[in-house]
Structure formats: C-alpha cells, structure tokens
Amino acid sequence: MSVTPDSTSDLSRRSLLQRAAAAGLLATPAAGLLAGCVSGGGDSGPKAEGEKSADNPLGVKEDAELEIVIFNGGLGSKYATDVHIPSYKKKFPKANVKFSETQEVGTVLQPRFTSNTPPDMVNNAGSKLMDQGALVQAGQVQDLTELFEAESLDQPGMKVKDTLIPGTIAQGTFNDKPYVLNYAFTVFGLWYDAALFEKNGWTAPKTWAEFTALCDKIKAAGITPYSYAGANAAYYQYLVMLTSAAKIGGPDVLKNIDNLEDGAWQADAVKQAAEAWAEIGAKYGNKAHLGLKHTEVQLQHNQGKVAFYPSGSWLENEQAKDTPPGFKYAVMPTPSVTGADKLPQTAVYAAAGEMYFVAAKGKNPRGGMEYLRHMLSKEGAKGFTQLTKVLTVVKGAVDGLEISPGLTSSNAMLTAAGSDYFAYRFDTWYKKLDDEARSATNELMFRGGTAQKFCDRMQKAADAVKKDSSIEKFKR
C-alpha cells in the first residue's frame, strides 16, 4: 500500500488515536508537570553505549538491559511480546528486555519521570496518557534524528526515514526536531456493520441530507443512529467534528487551530461543523451514553443497538473478542456538510498516531532507539498489522497480506481519499486544549450546548494557552 502525502506534508495526530494522545502526567497543569519532571536534577546515571558499526549503526551496548512500557489498549501488547522484543533479542541475545504493560501510562510513569528514573522506551497512549509537549519541553525526550538517519534493519541501502510514509517524521516533530515516533497509521471515520446495512438496504451516505435521512430510518427501526462514549472517548467525536470543519473550510482551519491563531476556533467552518453535529447529537444520539466508556458503547455497536460509531482503525482489533459472527466492520468518511465544501466528501482524517518515544534520561536510550528501528523494519511492521489489524507508517508492509474486513474498508477509504487527508496536532501539543475539547464536545452533543458556546469556550481555552508563558509553543 502506498499513501500520498497531503499538500503540506505534515500529517498529525491520535491519539488513534488516536488514539491518537499526549504523554501526559494526567490532568496536571503543564507548569506543575515541568517542575515535577526536572525536579530531580541531572540524568539517572551513565548511559549504556557500544561501538557504532555498519551492523550496529546506533551504537547499542549488546548486553545492556532495555526497559520498555507498552500501553495495553485497543492494540493489545502481543505485537511487542511476539514480534518486536523477539526481533531485538535475536540481534542482541545478551540483552535482557524488561517488559511491562499498563492501561494508565501517566499514573504509573509520572513518579519515574519526576525522579529521572524512566524506562527506556514508552508507548504513550490511552485516556491517562502523559503530556507529550510538556515532556519535550522538560528535556525528558530523546531526539530521534539518529534513528531516522540510520540504515533500515531489513531494507539494505535505505535509511529508516526513506522507508516511511511521507509526513511520519513531521507528525512527531516539535520545533524542527523529531522526538516521537507515531507508528500506527490510523484512518478515522464513521464505523458501521456492513451486514446490518445490507440486510436493511441502507447505503453509506455521502451528503448531510442523506446522512440525516438515513438516521431517521435507523431510528424508526429502533436502533440508536449515532453515538459515542462520553466518559472517555469524547475526542472521537471532536475529531470527526473537526474533520467536517476541515472539509468545509479547507485544512488550514486545523493548521490555524494548531498554531493558536487569533480567532481560529471562531472560524465559520468550525461553527458550521459544530451546528451540524449538535443536531445529530440532539436528534439521533443517546444521552445515557454520556457516562459510558468506549468499550461499553462499542459493545452496543456490535449488538446492533448503535448504527454509526466514530473511531479510528484500531476499533476492529479492540472489539475482536466481542464481535459476533456475521458482524462485518466497515468505515465511511464523514458526509459533506454543505454543497460548497472546499474538500471532497472522500477526504479523511488520517495520520501517523500511537506515540512511542525514548526517554532521554533512561539508562539505555540507544537501545530504545534500536527497539524503534526493529518496529520500523518491514517484518516488524508486517507482524504488527497481522496482530492488530492496523496499518503502520512503513511503506509496503501490508503487501501480500490477507487483511480483515475493517482493515480492507479503511484501506479502501484511504485510497479513495488520494492526497486529501489531513490531521491536527493541538491535542498532543497542548493537553489543556485536548481536555477542554473533550468536555466542550460532551456539552455540545449530550447537554444541549450550542455551536457558538462551543466555539467561545474553545477560543477562550486556546487564548489562555497562548498567553501562558510557562507553556512552550509549537508551530507547523
């Protein structure tokens, strides 16, 4: 599979995903986080280093212990234990790889970053992730330039950077330096059961009029037409809402939001998108879902109680144990809101996501970068996709693979989009804005909020971040 870069060649996001996230120290304000991150003074001690060579371009010490922490969420952790760790151990058999997994990355790792005793490589994701921008600002994250300049593990003569989908490195770049590997190439859209649609003669809508007309039919059939989980998955919803905004006004709508431009959240395109989605929430949602977690609403989706569900392409794998026989995952782009949208209906939010970073103050940062090199090998990427049903940022890694219905559908959607894909970065740069967007979105969708109130609330939050001198600013 090949992916065409967007016009600005600067993919962004979550998060899956989003998904698609921010290395966070929970809801701690950035200033407090920075004080905690650097309060221990200096590094944790001498760094493990070996001799650099053609076979060992990053200078890994062959018997140095490597500690990694993986978020155990929608992607699971078997890709690490069954693919990437064995690959690393094969090359460095004397090295002990210390592995652990968690669903609360920030809770578990905050004390370790505060004391400058972090693990070497971290998968920063989940609802309790860490504030990635603040970690970069605090000097806790390793510059990955050497990794991307190194030769690929299994594509001789090619640098790692040349094996990646365009935009990958930019997605994890903070003020011109690459600090984060966003590994999973996630496609976002509205997910549905193709078998249910075929049974009822329903067709995936392309316009907003078709969307609401179908929602009326679905509601008449006794099914909730559209929903998401308010307890921890509101970013799924604000993501599709901002996708609509980008389609209405063009991708610069999102770029202006990222860059904290004056009035960016008050743009007409954002208001129009918020108005359209507020109507969906009021007429076709389920207010009882405000207090539910993502897996609870996803289970109702699998049970045929919810028709459309917004999410990223990790969804199929996350629900594998609960998906009944005959359920056929499919995904569609958000419908066009107006007849004059600047981007076509086929345009999608798609980006490198699922953040992995090396701790600058870990004991073995060279081993951490090497571990990422194994993830970015063609075999490492292929194994990841086979186990997770999610694409990676490694070009051609799915060639020849027999893939699942959901992955087939998302791949087809991405192909149809061509060069019309885009993303934002404010959620990983400024956790305060991500938190506020989740809360404001729930108010809009579940509590009868208005588009103007949403825009006012988000603009106020963005202005506060812009004026806060303790928060480092990033631009694209």
% the chain with pLDDT above 90 = 81
Cα gap 22→15, rounded to integer Å: 7
Confidence (pLDDT) at 126: 87
Q: Which residues pair with 158 in a beta bridge?
A: none
CB atoms within 10 A of CB 157: 7
Taken in order 24, 27, 29, 35, the sign of the CA dihedral is negative
Structure tokens at 3: 């992916």
Helix%, strand%, coil% for the chain, nearest 5: 45, 15, 40
DSSP, res 151: B
Output the DSSP codes for 68-103: EEEE-STT-SHHIIIIIHHHHHHH-TT--EEEEEES
H-run or E-run covering 106 = helix 105-114
- Helix or strand or coil: residue 301? helix
CA 273, CA 233: separation in Å to the nearest integer? 19
Residue identified by tokens 């998108």 is: 273
Radius of gyration, CA atoms only, the chain: 21
Strand extents, DSSP E, 72-110 = 97-102
292 vs 36: CA distance, rounded Å:
32
Please name the helix (run of DSSP H) or strand (run of DSSP E) that holds residue 350, with its range, or none: strand 348-358
Residue of 112, 137, 177, 15 whose CA lies nearest to 465: 137
Q: How far is the C-alpha of 19 from the C-alpha of 71, rounded, in Å?
A: 11
Distance CA 421, CA 379 (A): 26
Question: Can you tell me the mean pLDDT for 296-305?
Answer: 98
Better pLDDT: 386 or 32? 386
Q: What's the rounded Cα separation, in Å, for the pair 153 and 155? A: 6
Give the pLDDT confidence of 70-122 residue by residue, as tens digits: 999 889 999 999 999 999 999 999 999 999 999 999 999 999 999 999 999 99
Residue 26, pLDDT above cutoff 80 = no
* Whether residue 25 has pLDDT greater than 60: no
Residue 442 parent element (H or E):
helix 431-446
Would you place residue 323 in the very low, low, confident or very high pLDDT band (cuts 50, 70, 90)?
very high
What's the CA gap between 80 and 136, in Å, rounded? 24
User: Per the structure block, which two tokens stand in for 107?
Assistant: 């809770």
Tokens of 253: 């709508």
What count of other Cβ atoms lies within 10 Å of the Cβ of residue 247? 29
* Band of pLDDT at residue 43, cut at 50, 70 and 90: low
Average pLDDT over residues 274-290: 98
* Per-residue pLDDT, 42: 60
- The answer, yes or no, to whether residue 390 has pLDDT greater than 90, is no
Determine the average pLDDT of the residues in 54-65.
98
Alpha helix segments (H runs only) across 163-289: 168-171, 194-200, 208-220, 234-249, 252-258, 268-284
Q: Distance between CA 11 and CA 389 in Å, rounded?
A: 21
pLDDT at site 351: 86
Residue 17: is its pLDDT beyond 60?
Answer: no
In terms of Cα–Cα distance, which of 321, 381, 353, 442 is closest to 71? 353
Which DSSP category does 160 fall into?
A: G
Q: For residue 44, what pLDDT band results from cuts at 50, 70 and 90?
A: low
Token readout for 248 is 């209405």
Q: Residues 411-467: pLDDT tens digits?
A: 899 889 988 989 999 998 999 999 999 999 999 999 999 999 999 999 999 999 999
Binned at pLDDT 50, 70 and 90, residue 144 comes out as very high
Q: Is pLDDT of 19 > 90?
A: no
- pLDDT for 186: 87
Quote the CA–CA distance of 322 and 337 in Å, as a whole number. 33
Lowest pLDDT segment from 253-267, 300-314, 414-428: 414-428
In 3D space, the residue among 265, 272, 269 whose CA is nearest the CA of residue 464 turns out to be: 265
| Residue 327 contacts residue 208 (beta carbons within 8 Å) | no
* Sign of the torsion formed by the C-alpha atoms of 103, 440, 474 and 420: positive
Contacts of 76 (CB under 8 A, 6+ apart): 317, 387, 388
> Would you state the pLDDT for residue 6?
33
**In this predicted structure, what is the pLDDT of residue 12?**
32
Q: Which of 19-33, 36-50, 418-432 is the least confident region?
A: 19-33
Going along the chain from its start, the domains and CATH numbers come out as 30-186+350-402 (3.40.190.10)
63-67, 261-265, 269-273, 317-321: range with lowest mean pLDDT: 317-321
SS3 call for 182: strand
Query: Among residues 88, 43, 81, 44, which one has the least CA distance to residue 65?
Result: 88
**How does residue 4 score in pLDDT terms, banded at 50, 70 and 90?**
very low
pLDDT at position 197 over 50: yes
**pLDDT above 70 coverage of the chain, percent:** 91
What mean pLDDT value characterizes the chain? 90
Contact by Cβ (8 Å): 16, 312? yes
